[in-house]
Amino acid sequence: MPDLSIKPAIIADTLAEEIIRGDLVQGARLAQDHIAARFQCSHVPVREALQRLVQMELATAIPRKGVRVFKLSDQDHDEILEMRLSLEPLALRRAVTRATSQDYANMEVFRHACDKADDAISWERANRLFHLAILQPCDRPRLLSQIEQLQRLSAIRFHTRWKTTWSRTSDADHSAILKAIKRADEKAACAILVRHLSRG
């Protein structure tokens, strides 16, 4: 969770969500003055916000030429998937052995939110939170935040591709993963997760 007491954090947070959703089109220019006017501040905090977006890989900066919304190529997507397939099982194995009933409850919340979602945007958000929730108990902060970043990038792709054709479905994989986690079956949980992500 970013700190929202500081302007750059607020601005970066807002823009990040818009980029993920596809409200800001890939390659679009992010001009300092324009954003400053929108958030009613000078462009100094905007510069810091843009830097945060660059660090999240949601934007690309070219010195003295400005920053643009990140363009996600097919090759980027392959790489991201590969990294997720490597890191998420790593986190999941640890999470399975450490999860408490409180953690289970938390996972269920987002599984439910996925199934109940009735538009692509809210489904994707819930999905992302679910996939993070099942890994949360792993107790590896930097592993989690790296995965979170990859999941955000995956979300961009989802929105650009299936935003319009999305339709509500109950996700069988999600419940299967949850069941495996609850019976502390790392092997099964990881296997299903890997299959689930590969289909993405």
Partner DNA sequence: ATCTACATTTTTATAGATAAAAGTGAAGCC
Partner DNA sequence: GGCTTCACTTTTATCTATAAAAATGTAGAT
CB of 116 vs a copy of itself, minimal distance in Å = 33
Query: Is residue 96 within 8 Å of 186, Cβ to Cβ?
Result: yes
Judged by the rule CB under 8 A, the positions of this chain that interact with a copy of itself are 3, 5-6, 9, 44, 47-48, 51-52, 55, 57, 63-64, 76, 79-80, 82-83, 86-87, 90, 140-143, 146
Site map (CB under 7 A) of DNA, residues 57-76, x = contact: ------xxxxx---------
DSSP single-letter state for residue 68 = E
Helices (H), 99-140: 101-116, 120-133
DSSP single-letter state for residue 71 = P
Matching residue, tokens 């319009």: 164
Q: Which member of 4, 23, 29, 187 binds DNA (CB under 7 A)?
A: 29
- In single-letter form, the type of residue at position 94 comes to R
Q: Of DNA, a copy of itself, none, which one does residue 29 interact with (CB within 5 to 8 Å by kind)?
A: DNA
Nearest to 1 by CA among 67, 138, 12: 12
Question: Count of residues binding DNA (CB under 7 A)?
Answer: 21
Question: Applying CB under 7 A, does 141 fall inside the site for DNA?
Answer: no
Question: Applying CB under 7 A, does 170 fall inside the site for DNA?
Answer: no
Number of residues that make up the chain: 200
- C-alpha 109, offset from chain centre: 17
Closer of 140 and 182 to a copy of itself (Cβ):
140
CB of 4 vs a copy of itself, minimal distance in Å = 10
